[in-house]
Homo-oligomer: A and B are copies of this chain.
Amino acid sequence: MTNEILKGLGGTIPATLPNALRDHGLLVNTAMGLYGWGAELEAVYDGLTSALSAEIWDREPVVLRFPPILPRSVFEKSEYVASFPQLFGAVHAFQGDEYAHESLEQAVTKGEDWSDRTRLTDFVLAPAVCYSVYPLYSGNVVDGGKVVDASGFCFRHEPSTEPGRMVSFRLREFVTIGSPADASTWFGAWHRRSAAFVRRLGLDVRVEAASDPFFGTTGQIMAENQREEGMKAEVVVPIGGHPVAVASINYHRDHFGRIFDIRSTDGEPAHSACVGFGLERLAFALVAAHGPSTARWPHAVRELLWSGRPGAPESADLDPS
């Protein structure tokens, strides 16, 4: 019943999305790489959110949630532009008078390019959640491996019909900031822990060495170095026959400690590492593996996501048939 509109629109969702998602109308598409979702997927996101909280609880994390927007000052400082200029989204706004407004309105109405009618604001779209975390520790000395549980919507400008590649998506990140030993121990431990978590969701898991999509020819060398030095790994699962990374584990060395002036107790720039989980991709993988009816998902998976909590979709059968 709540699904009527989603079902009706199923046919317009890109054909490359997994069959389960397309046919069962769990999403509505609004543009390439951009989707709305219904109560059923929201229950899955809620379940993943609480199951992930249980994974980090023992570390007594600082829990922080962020809006989808990052201050431009933080973004500019972060050196993101140097590495990933092709991915960021900058927020522009109109700041003109009534004459300029009339001209803008005409350009929009005529379907002209109105790129030049706006100016850069003090805001960009958050490319990852942990960029909001580091500046909070600027000028601080951290000891014993600070742990932050952070989440929010992220944006990457890579519109695509590829399953799970979205321009706007939810990222849950566990971040540690501390000594080189703190960060590298964390990095190693989360290879195992993140794979174990995803495996408990009943998914086929591989952990692979990976690299970030650094821009240009220099970027290729940076990516090769990153891979050779084992600085990034991804937890990969199949979605509709495609291998898709649902989590990534990243060791930043002193990159953010240096940029944001965070030090460990020895006075050196702090090291940091993070593990990030893509909630949409995990949800899509769950539907692809276990079917669109969460009521029929394996008992252990349902327990992990909704153990004993009211709001578990016991009766909400996603399968319209």
Contacts and interface: CB of A to CB of B under 8 A. Distances in A.
Contacts of A14: none
Contact of A5 (B66, B118, B137, B308): B137
B69 A122 contact: no
Given A114-B120, A120-B113, A42 B65 contact: yes
A9 B85 contact: no
B68 A68 contact: yes
Interface string A250-268: 0000000000000000000
Contacts of A74: 30-31
B216 A123 contact: no
Contacts of A132: 30, 36
A118 B90 CA distance: 8
A304 to B, nearest CB: 15
Interface string A68-107: 1111011010000110011011111111101001001100
A30 B168 contact: no
A167 B123 contact: yes
Contact of A38 (B63, B92, B216, B217): B63
Interface residues of A, number: 84
A121 interface: yes
Contacts of A4: 62
Nearest to A73: B31
How many copies make up the complex?
Answer: 2
Interface in A1-24: 1-2, 4-6, 9
A190 interface: no
A65 B81 contact: no
A145 to B, nearest CB: 14
Contact of A37 (B65, B123, B159, B168): B65
B153 A68 contact: yes
Contacts of A62: 2, 4-6, 38
A34 interface: yes
Most B-side CB within 10 Å, residue of A92, A111, A136, A155? A92
Interface string A46-61: 0000100000000011
A105 to B, nearest CB: 6
A101 B215 CA distance: 9
A32 interface: yes
Given A31-B71, A90-B92, 6 more contacts: A2-B63, A9-B136, A36-B67, A38-B62, A153-B153, A308-B310
